[in-house]
Amino acid sequence: MVTYFDQFRAQRVERRNINDYRKYSEQLDAALRGDFAWLDVEVRAMFPETPEVEAQPLNIVRRVSNMFSRLYRGPVQRFFVSETEAAVDYGKLREIYERSNINGALLACHRRLVAQQSQVGLVLPDKARRVCVRSFSPWQVDIVPGNTLYGDDIEHAAEVRFLVELDRDVAGGVVTSRYGWIVLTPAEAWIESAAGKRSSLYNPGSDDLSHPFGEIPAFKIETEQAMSGWSLPPVDEPLRAITIALAARTGDLSHILHYQGYGQPVVEPTSPDFDGAPQSSAEGLTLGPNRVLFLRNGQFKIVTPNAQVGEYRSFIEALLRWYALTRGVDQDQFLKAATARTAVSRRFDRADRAEERANYITLFGELETKLARLVCKVANHTGLVTLPEDVIVDVRYFEPPERLDPLVEAQARALEYELGERSRADFVQRRDNIGRAQALERVARNLAEQRVMAALGEATAAEVAAILQVLPASVRRFAEERPAP
């Protein structure tokens, strides 16, 4: 048996076309931003004989990306420490982070990472005590390995190129953009136009293309490893596929409803002497709900199509459920299930999301140190500040509370109260942001009111009147307005 590896070893050459890879990457980036112009081409390819079918875009890409990119949506705590310097004031570095909106840049990186499975970025100089952190998707990046044994390691790359817009013209409602490259090597960094003209990236206004960083000043983060012969992993093709499938199937369903959602008037001749329209068509007949149709030798009827709309809709919902199952996504995030789901099923969904979150925490925790060192190097190169370039970052992310069903949450809380595992006053204190004494008073008053209301249900009229005389005004008013049993 001849295996693929035997054929490859005998051939010793492998050629890959990366155009499809870049196309898929650009399509996912466009979908994340809400641009679905590319979907029309994909849907027409699926229905070549029915050009009337139009794509109905549903932004699954944005939904999934927002669902998993939550690390930088809440507060982020960073603790900086130097490997060599003991006493360092990191106030200037924190100011740079705040002025440069590093959290916003990492949030944008994380959102694209979910769909692209890799991001490559760099730190650009900006205004005083400010840098610009930009991340790029695979369709915008070219990595030339310096040693193919480490082809997926950006630190061993000979050159990294980033596609960037260099010039833009707006005239007559038409925007014309001209693109070029930011090119990074271990010793130089420059901006290169389409004509091949170079200008320094880190020494603007100078012919000196060098930089003092001693390495390629770029970072890479990826959720999967690249295959042999590639520098970046593949994009999330199942996410792209479900986006196209939903757009095509909902468009096809809309097309079916348009042509088969109404009855079709039909005239069937009953004899060769039919004196209506010609037998091949109904032209010449005046139809309408306000007219009486009389045919001497023909039969008029309405043919009702049998479009399988319910089955088609169930199939579309099944596509979503299958994708959610394989992606580790809660099905309720996409659609409301007709049947209740068990607590065990929801627990597994939460476990899947917790595992995904833990993976992202590990990846971005490593990236934070790499990024902080690049920020310090670029800031030091501007000459405005002096920061340690061997900084290490310990980052803590905000853990959002798990959202549960309100009824289930209330029942669980009541059970904890009964077992003594939880305090009513502690819950009210945190929920209403009040002092503990005030929370205790509020809980005691509410419990007293509950006991009084229960007693009123079994008391006679005379007993109720006597109780009302000693009740607080709020409770008395509630009891007086309470309908008689």
What's the mean pLDDT when you consider all of the chain?
Answer: 82
Measured in whole angstroms, the distance separating CA 92 from the mean position of its chain's CA atoms is 33
Look at residues 242, 257, 222 and name the one whose alpha carbon lies nearest to residue 114: 222
Question: 399 CB contacts (<8 Å, ≥6 apart)?
Answer: none
Higher pLDDT, 196 or 288: 196
174-184 vs 189-192, strand pairing mode: antiparallel
3-state helix/strand/coil string of 100-137: HCHHHHHHHHHHHHHHHCEEEEEEEECCCCCEEEEEEC
pLDDT of 278 reads: 47
Predicted confidence (pLDDT) per residue in 94-125, tens digit: 999 999 999 999 999 999 999 999 999 999 98
Q: Residue 347 is which amino acid? A: R
In a domain, 318, yes or no: no
pLDDT of 346 reads: 61
Same domain, 167 and 113: yes
pLDDT of 184 reads: 95
pLDDT of 111 reads: 95
Same domain, 270 and 378: no
pLDDT surpassing 50 at residue 280: no
In a domain, 227, yes or no: yes
pLDDT surpassing 80 at residue 350: no
Same domain, 379 and 426: no
Same domain, 52 and 143: yes
In the numeric block, the tokens 């009147």 are attached to 465
Crossing angle between the packed helical segments 237-260 and 19-32, to the nearest 10 degrees: 70
3-state helix/strand/coil string of the chain: CCCHHHHHHHHCCCCCCCHHHHHHHHHHHHHHCCCCCCHHHHHHHHCCCCCCCCCCCCCHHHHHHHHHCCCCCCCEEEEEEECCCCCCCCHHHHHHHHHHCHHHHHHHHHHHHHHHCEEEEEEEECCCCCEEEEEECHHHEEEEECCHHHCCCHHHEEEEEEEEEEEEEEECCEEEEEEEEEEECCCEEEEECCCCCEEECCCCCCCCCECCCCCCCEEEEECCCCCCCCCCCCCCHHHHHHHHHHHHHHHHHHHHHHHHCCCEEEEEECCCCCCCCCCCCCCCCCCCCCCCCCCCCEEEEEECCCCCHHHHHHHHHHHHHHHHHHHCCCHHHCCCCCCCCCHHHHHHHHHHHHHHHHHHHHHHHHHHHHHHHHHHHHHHHHCCCCCCCCEEEEEEECCCCCCCCHHHHHHHHHHHHHHCCCCHHHHHHHHHCCCHHHHHHHHHHHHHHHHHHHHHCCCCHHHHHHHHCCCCHHHHHHHHHCCCC
**Contact yes or no for 331/324 (Cβ under 8 A):** yes
**Contact yes or no for 471/452 (Cβ under 8 A):** yes
In a domain, 327, yes or no: no
Output the six-digit token pair for 478: 């509630």
Same domain, 190 and 299: no
Same domain, 418 and 393: no
Question: 312 CB contacts (<8 Å, ≥6 apart)?
Answer: 249, 252, 253, 256
In the numeric block, the tokens 């039909």 are attached to 266
Domain of residue 272, residue span: 264-303
pLDDT of 377 reads: 92
Question: 199 CB contacts (<8 Å, ≥6 apart)?
Answer: 190, 191
Predicted confidence (pLDDT) per residue in 365-423, tens digit: 999 999 999 999 999 888 767 888 889 999 999 876 666 666 777 778 888 888 888 88
Higher pLDDT, 253 or 362: 362
Rounded Cα distance between 307 and 175, Å, is: 45
Same domain, 157 and 209: yes
Same domain, 283 and 378: no
Final residue belonging to a domain, choices 397, 427, 462: 397
pLDDT surpassing 50 at residue 38: yes
pLDDT of 391 reads: 92
In the numeric block, the tokens 């990186």 are attached to 109
In a domain, 345, yes or no: no
Final residue belonging to a domain, choices 367, 397, 427: 397
Predicted confidence (pLDDT) per residue in 435-480, tens digit: 888 989 888 888 887 877 777 666 666 766 666 666 555 555 555 5
In the numeric block, the tokens 């002092």 are attached to 435
Higher pLDDT, 159 or 10: 159
Number of domains in the chain: 3
Buried/exposed code over 263-296 (b: 16+ C-beta within 10 A; e: otherwise): eeeebebeeeebebeeeeeeeeeeeeeeeeeebe
Q: Is 425 exposed, middle or buried (0-12, 13-18, 19+ CB in 10 A)?
A: middle
Q: What is the pTM of this model?
A: 0.75
Rounded Cα distance between 238 and 43, Å, is: 16
pLDDT band with cut points at 50, 70 and 90 for residue 317: confident
In a domain, 192, yes or no: yes
Same domain, 86 and 222: yes
In a domain, 357, yes or no: yes
76-82 vs 391-397, strand pairing mode: antiparallel
Output the six-digit token pair for 472: 């607080």
Rounded Cα distance between 285 and 18, Å, is: 59
Predicted confidence (pLDDT) per residue in 159-173, tens digit: 999 999 999 999 888
In a domain, 347, yes or no: no
Rounded Cα distance between 250 and 55, Å, is: 8
Same domain, 117 and 189: yes
Q: What are φ and ψ of residue 277, in 5° steps?
A: -85, 170
pLDDT surpassing 90 at residue 28: yes
In a domain, 11, yes or no: no
Which range among 102-111, 242-251, 307-316, 366-375 shows the weakest confidence by mean pLDDT?
A: 307-316
pLDDT band with cut points at 50, 70 and 90 for residue 485: very low
Final residue belonging to a domain, choices 397, 430, 458: 397
Same domain, 110 and 211: yes
Same domain, 182 and 40: yes
